[in-house]
Structure 1
Amino acid sequence: MTTLANVKIDREFWKDYLSTQGSQLPHLDDVKDVTDRVIRVMGGNPGEMQLQGTNTFLLGTGKAIILIDTGEVRMPVWIQRLVEILKERDLYISHVLLTHWHGDHTGGVPDFIAYDATLENHIHKSHPDPGQNDIEEGQIFAVEGTTVKALFTPGHAVDHMCFLLEEQNALFTGDNVLGHEFTVVEDLTLYLQSLDIVAAQGFIIDYPAHGVEIENLPAKLKQYIRRAREKLIYSVLLDNWLNRGQNLNTKSGLSTREIVSQIYGDIPQRLLQSEIGPSTVEILRMLADTRKVDFAIQSGTQRWFINKGRQVV
């Protein structure tokens, strides 16, 4: 089965787009008590890819609290804000949970350890760096009034974790789902699988690592899943075209069944006809309406291929 792990993302286009959107993003307070057990502390690092900056979170209702993510390297404003909260409210951190390895989520770790060296043994991350603790799927982290469960969701990054706050049926989605627009991914196939896993859980509230809180996560996930499937289907057709040396003709196109097979492998005919096939055709038609793909009928079979004049990566 084709994994399409190397699907190219036009990051420069995305950065330009987000740069123009920056002035339209809603203001987020530097520190906010989001609920009685969730405090958001902004990382102080707004930018094209970070939106208003990295959202880091303190969880708990007692003196011991859990920290999710640590902001960016060389951003002293984040650790200053964090230390101020800890001192003002007489709190201490029992666990540091990192959603993934990207620098705007892990860069604050050295500043954090410099503040309290004992915390070096309390840092948790999937695929941990030396000296860090691993996070297992389903692992529970608990403090007074708060139970957090780890959910492995690779795709945006190979080590990406989401964290469920059981008391609120809320999810901390890291960079898998953002408060504004869409994220970029390393592995589109894994990412789509992770979105499907999250969608099946029925979480309602989302605290993303960038942007505003999402009050209707199921609706947001439908948007994300459709966008990811569009990109994945297009990438299968692009892969087929590139593998044939860009010598495009109707014979080099793929049928719906062949597209589905490359994405999902062999699936039962019933599932193909009732669910996956129709949704794939719907997306293909949408891509055809925007002239990104085209099709031809050959021997009674509709075969799809890239529109050479409208290549989109």
Structure 2
Amino acid sequence: MVLLDTIRDYAQIVAAAATYFYARIFSRTMNPALTDIEPSTQLSETVWRILGANPSPFTLQGTNTYLVGSGPSRILIDTGEKNKPAYISELRDVLKDNKISAIICTHWHDDHVGGIKDVKDKISGNDIPVYKFKNPNGREDDSVYKYIEDGAIIKVPGTTLRVIASPGHTMDHISLYFEEEGSLFCGDCILGEGTTIFEDLYTYMQSLQRLLDTKPSRIYSGHGPVIENGIEKINEYITHRNRREEQILSALSGDKTLSAMEITNVVYPTLSWSMKLGALNNVNQHLTKLIKEKKVIKTGRGYQIIN
């Protein structure tokens, strides 16, 4: 019986994976429900958003990069992907006679760090520092980055940015609290539209609480539009994950033992196969978190609640 359950789950996972990647690879159009975002926009007296010219199902309208500061020296937050001449042209136009004095990368994903070389070669020169949190889970080119720690301060005229370690989406993820505005650059911890993915949900939930504690007036996200009510949006993310956890625990109630795929089918009964793999990944992340919290145990047959 256990073998049959395993075979059935495996077949469902393979089917979900195939349809998921088919949908991703062959998706040719943007979601028409997404908010239109201009190639560049001045968002406040000291913040410009420059879109990375890389729209896709993964990046939504594209990666948001930000120029911050009010004097001749500006900080660039994230760099988009490599080989995007439209982005470099737009960034140059926004800079005008000002210069980039530092780059800060929120995390290792290519749509945030891939453009570093192009920005240096074509705009800033190679002498400026590129700040980033050290990635504990992977190798990276130490010659590219100047590693920073939680609480570090990076300043230019009109702008003081405080580094907040916010792992979860990736384990090297940082956010930046903008002291003068009371606002937050949150990378991919929180999206302007929809919800994000994460490497480790347990850590991610702790990071959301850290960000909530800053009480941001607004949030500048790595993707999507500006979030004008930062506290409300972070609470929305926390509530969403807590509700999903309650659904998983409910599925396991009554001393049931279920596999991750069986739980996924209970929690997401109407979800299309093209989205099932992502849902399965979310369920696995929740289960890992619940095991760490000693609420659930994994057995040979699946998962069950610890009474």
User: Does the alignment reach a TM-score above 0.5?
Assistant: yes
Which residue of 82, 85, 90 corresponds with 1:73?
82
Q: Which residue of 2 aligns with 1:129?
A: 141
Give the C-alpha shift of residue 85 in structure 1.
2.3
User: How many angstroms apart in 2 are the aligned matches of 1:263 and 1:231?
Assistant: 17
Q: Which residue of 2 aligns with 1:42?
A: 51
8 A Cα contact 1:188 1:228, kept in partner:
no
Helix, strand or coil at the partner of 2:163: strand
Of all paired residues, the percent bearing the same amino acid is 33
Give the C-alpha shift of residue 83 in structure 1.
1.9
Give the C-alpha shift of residue 19 in structure 1.
8.0
Which residue of 179, 203, 212 corresponds with 1:190?
203
Helix, strand or coil at the partner of 2:32: helix
CA change 1:53–1:260 in 2 (3 A) is closer
Which residue of 228, 235, 254 corresponds with 2:241?
228
Q: Which amino acid aligns with 1:36?
A: E
8 A Cα contact 1:65 1:95, kept in partner:
yes
Q: Which residue of 1 aligns with 2:105?
A: 98
In the alignment of these two chains, the number of paired residues is 247
CA change 1:125–1:66 in 2 (3 A) is same
Which residue of 103, 114, 129 corresponds with 1:107?
114
User: How many angstroms apart in 2 are the aligned matches of 1:82 and 1:265?
Assistant: 49
Which residue of 12, 33, 53 corresponds with 2:20?
12
Deviation string 1:69-118 (CA, Å, 9 cap, x unpaired) is 001122221112112222x2x11111100000001101111101212574
- Aligned counterparts, 1:1-313, within 5 A: 12=20, 22-86=31-95, 88=96, 90-116=97-123, 118-127=125-134, 129-131=141-143, 132-232=145-245, 241-242=258-259, 262-264=291-293
Give the C-alpha shift of residue 263 in structure 1.
4.6
CA change 1:121–1:60 in 2 (3 A) is closer
Q: Which amino acid aligns with 1:29?
A: E
Helix, strand or coil at the partner of 2:119: helix
> Which TM-score applies when normalising by structure 2?
0.71
8 A Cα contact 1:192 1:229, kept in partner:
no
Give the C-alpha shift of residue 230 in structure 1.
3.7
Task: Give the gaps of 5 or more residues in structure 1.
Answer: 1-7, 247-258, 267-294, 296-302, 306-313
User: How many angstroms apart in 2 are the aligned matches of 1:116 and 1:181?
Assistant: 33
Q: Which residue of 2 aligns with 1:290?
A: none
CA change 1:45–1:260 in 2 (3 A) is closer
Q: Which amino acid aligns with 2:161?
A: V
User: How many angstroms apart in 2 are the aligned matches of 1:154 and 1:263?
Assistant: 17
CA change 1:260–1:161 in 2 (3 A) is closer
Helix, strand or coil at the partner of 2:231: helix
Q: Which amino acid aligns with 1:22?
A: N
Helix, strand or coil at the partner of 1:194: helix
